[in-house]
Structure 1
Amino acid sequence: MTTPVTRAERGRAARKRVSRSAHAHWIPPVDRPDPVAVLERQGRDRLPELLPIRYGRMAASPFAFLRGAAAVMAGDLASRPHTGLTVQLCGDAHLLNFGLYASPERTLLFDLNDFDETFPGPFEWDVQRLAASVSVAGRENGYPEAKVRRAVVETVAAYRATMRRLARQGELTVWYEHIDAESLLPLVRSARRRRRVASSLTRARRRTSLQAVGKLTETVDGRRRIVHDPPLLEPAGAADMASLRKIFSDYRSTLAEERRLLLDRYRFVDAARKVVGVGSVGTRCFIVLLAGRDLDDPLFLQIKEARKSVLEEHLPNGPYVHPGHRVVAGQRLMQAAGDIFLGWMTGPQGRAFYWRQLRDMKGSADVAGMSPADLLGYARLCGTALARAHARSGDRVAIAAYLGGADTFEQAVADFAFRYADQTAADHTALGAAVAAGVVRATPEV
């Protein structure tokens, strides 16, 4: 068995491959792919009628562009040397991919909540993407550069401090570590803002399938059906409906036995195609309405297409062949507690999908409405949650030893984050130029 001393030595040895101060550097390579071309390549196998919505959402601001450009940043990070200290990466760890959700015990937790790009890779890639998102968001909010830098530094410092703390803990202690949603309240200084956060927690607790029925369905000729709100929410056609009923049965087999029994107590009512997110727009996504005891006992499930992670072309092969299995396994590994209905299967034309609950007390932050102090507190919480997730899958002792006791790593990553914010602004401008030139078509504000 490898001892903690040996593991720590491995972490410190990684500094010879990539020093902590080397993380500061960002100079785009001369052969850097055109960012718009990267996005267009991603779109080749997506639903073409939805791509203008994706480009319209990304063109709205540099932060929106960053959210949708995980593939662009993956290529940029892969062009740099890395530590070789592998964890299960989120792959898209920006500020809005953290949030609230319910544990199976109905406790409201704060954690990562998007795993479409999850894949094993060097821990610093997630940290750098999170730091860059803090820098871009802070600038977009008009904060002074000094306050933006402090928020970035504190984000990475929280990651380092949490990783060093967990490196001293036993395996079960690390596995059971979680962040209760009530941890958000002490981070907020003003009483007014604290009331707003408390209200957000209350709203998240109310975001259930029962609430979704009131918002997303209507009764037509005595039958409950999902409302039509094109192009964002459209009824599933006859062929899609038949396929969904079939893959619903296949998905059932990926659940634990007791959860299959629970799922069997629901019946299929209706389904619709739904547009979600920024980077995911154009992938095939559906929502399914199920009824349990009666129509007042609903369950909404989301079926989302799983594709190759944007990280896969830059890293060694991962352990999962099926993209849906990759997403589900990554989420189960990284989240403190998982969705009981999380599963995967293969759909029509051999496409991979995964299933999860559509609404299960989920909530996200309003980053644009935060004060500099609130952004700092929220970003620190994200850094803490990211370290907890990485500690479950990677060698936390080696990573903690690599990071060390000084602030070298966070200062370097802050330098990178500012430089990459400049890159993001330039890439956002390039997308705007491509839209203006008719290279890509964008539908704004949808």
Structure 2
Amino acid sequence: MSIPSAFTASLSPEERAAHGRSARRRAPRSGHGRFEAGADRPDPIEVIERQSAQRVQELVPIRYGRMLESPFRFYRGAAAIMAMDLGRMTDSGLTAQLCGDAHLLNFRLLASPERHLVFDINDFDETYPGPFEWDVKRLAASFVIAARANGFSTAEQEGAVRECVQAYRTRMREFAGMHTLDIWYAQDDADSMRKLLASSMSKHAKRQTAAATAKARTRTYLQAFAKLTRITSEGRRIAADPPLITPLRDLVAGSSAGEEEKELQTVFEEYTKTLSSERRHLLGHYHLVDIARKVVGVGSVGTRCWIILLLGRDDDDPLLLQAKEASESVLAAHTGGERFDNQGRRVVTGQRLIQTTSDIFLGWTHVVSGLDGRGRDFYVRQLRDWKGIARPETWDPAMLRLFGQVCGGSLARAHARSGDPVAIAAYLGGGDSFDRALTEFAGAYADQNDRDFEELGVAVRSGRVQAHDL
């Protein structure tokens, strides 16, 4: 889909720019604005049903219930549907490591290992190499869907998309002129970004961003520890809240309990081997105390996700890890790229390519279940650490446009780390042709998302699938 990176690096900036401009012949920028489902478009409900078939069946109705809450919640759970649609379109052939699910709620405030608050992409379950514009299109459409939920006008919806795409394009041009190491070291520090955007922010927006930053710093692992655990006669344990949080001790009984516990102990032990030596040493100061299954997100509901509680010096010295099952990326079938032997490793590798500062406990593992004999891949990270989550339902159009700027610029930084910023910037150009096309696409795809959302409702009402509101 693109020239090999080693060959790209040997080209001059002028040759790389020429390569980017030549991609316009393959995929004209204005052509990105067109979206037509076509009569041969596969049934979207079948697409998500195929995903659900590999998941914990008792949790699948919760997934559908969450997707039915709103068109935006549906969109969050429908990454596989959009990947199918994007794979049927002509692409630029200019690749980067994609997030794969770049909707606006996947951008948030996070803690760096140095304890700085940064703005970055959060979830990487679908990360995979692919055409750079696929991420931009998914992000752009999410702004239209969020704006519609707030009752914003068509002009206000389009304004948010234009700000987002323009920020992506202009920042990519900045990266095209930077030294390679400077691109790799670039990050979006929350305080610096707030100062940079201050001139374009209203007093209300300034108050909102200051409050969000302050709240993110309170969402620490200690807060999660207090919320998710309790003191029992056996010591500190994870509190049950079934079916959303189910401790292992309550999930299985008899001989199967021993098998499940052994499997999860193996998950943990094998995972530690993927950490660097100093981080294995740090983890060695903790001991495993309790494990529970947790229902997470929207699109991830039904995947096997475990909370792992470890304690260090005493019962008030915790570490909470999340071990999440990793399946093949929804993009894989539509790119023709290499297949990964471990999907957990795919997630971790992609995250390290995209994020400027990743969780120090990020790792992966593979385990063969003693219950059904199936091999499953997992990736592991801290459960929560300084995460600030956007609340677009509380925003006015100006705040949504501002967030569009921040997300677009952040996505450009992510792509510039793994892709060729010179070629991508040359393809995008200095005018607004790509911006206008993506604005058109975002509106058309939001319409399609509305139709697919209605289709899921029909499927539930007809009894084709079951949905639970939890």
Shorter chain as denominator, the TM-score bin is: over 0.9
How many residue pairs were aligned?
445
Q: Which amino acid in 2 is paired with 1:100?
A: L
Q: Which amino acid in 2 is paired with 1:422?
A: D
Q: Tell me by how many angstroms 1:246 deviates.
A: 1.7
Matched, 1:383 2:408: yes
Equivalence for 1:55: 64
Matched, 1:403 2:412: no
Matched, 1:428 2:453: yes
Matched, 1:117 2:126: yes
* Aligned counterpart in structure 2 of residue 415 of structure 1, from 440, 443, 468: 440
Q: When the two structures are superposed, what TM-score results if normalisation uses the length of structure 2?
A: 0.93
Q: Which amino acid in 2 is paired with 1:427?
A: D
Q: Is the 8 A contact 1:119 1:318 kept in 2?
A: no
Q: Tell me by how many angstroms 1:154 deviates.
A: 1.0
Q: Tell me by how many angstroms 1:152 deviates.
A: 0.4
Equivalence for 1:96: 105
Matched, 1:204 2:216: yes
The 2-side partners of 1:404 and 1:111 are apart by 25
Q: What percentage of aligned pairs have identical amino acids?
A: 54
* Aligned counterpart in structure 2 of residue 296 of structure 1, from 295, 307, 316: 316
1:34-433 equivalences in 2 (<5 Å): 34-182=43-191, 183-184=193-194, 186=197, 189-236=201-248, 237=252, 238=257, 239-318=259-338, 320-347=340-367, 348=369, 349-433=374-458
The 2-side partners of 1:407 and 1:50 are apart by 45
Q: Tell me by how many angstroms 1:139 deviates.
A: 1.0
Q: Tell me by how many angstroms 1:319 deviates.
A: 6.3
- Give secondary structure in 1 for the equivalent of 2:243: coil
Q: When the two structures are superposed, what TM-score results if normalisation uses the length of structure 1?
A: 0.98
The 2-side partners of 1:296 and 1:223 are apart by 11
The 2-side partners of 1:100 and 1:168 are apart by 27
The 2-side partners of 1:43 and 1:332 are apart by 28
Q: Is the 8 A contact 2:235 2:315 kept in 1?
A: no
- Give secondary structure in 1 for the equivalent of 2:113: coil
Equivalence for 1:4: 13
The 2-side partners of 1:309 and 1:339 are apart by 21
- Give secondary structure in 1 for the equivalent of 2:59: helix
- Give secondary structure in 2 for the equivalent of 1:82: coil
Stretch of structure 1 that moved more, 236-245 or 81-90: 236-245
- Give secondary structure in 2 for the equivalent of 1:48: coil
The CA deviation string for residues 275-333 of structure 1, in whole angstroms up to 9 with x for no partner, is 00000000000001111122211110000000000001111233632100000000000
The 2-side partners of 1:240 and 1:95 are apart by 36
The 2-side partners of 1:207 and 1:437 are apart by 41
Q: Which amino acid in 2 is paired with 1:407?
A: D
The 1-side partners of 2:339 and 2:330 are apart by 16
The 2-side partners of 1:165 and 1:114 are apart by 26
The 1-side partners of 2:400 and 2:324 are apart by 30
Q: Tell me by how many angstroms 1:197 deviates.
A: 2.5
The 2-side partners of 1:13 and 1:425 are apart by 35
Q: Is the 8 A contact 1:39 1:71 kept in 2?
A: yes
Root-mean-square deviation (CA, aligned residues, Å) is: 1.2
- Give secondary structure in 2 for the equivalent of 1:60: coil
Q: Is the 8 A contact 1:158 1:380 kept in 2?
A: yes
* Aligned counterpart in structure 2 of residue 19 of structure 1, from 12, 20, 28: 28
Q: Which amino acid in 2 is paired with 1:134?
A: F
What 5-or-longer segments of structure 2 have no aligned partner? 1-9
The 2-side partners of 1:261 and 1:207 are apart by 26
The 2-side partners of 1:413 and 1:200 are apart by 29
The 1-side partners of 2:42 and 2:464 are apart by 16
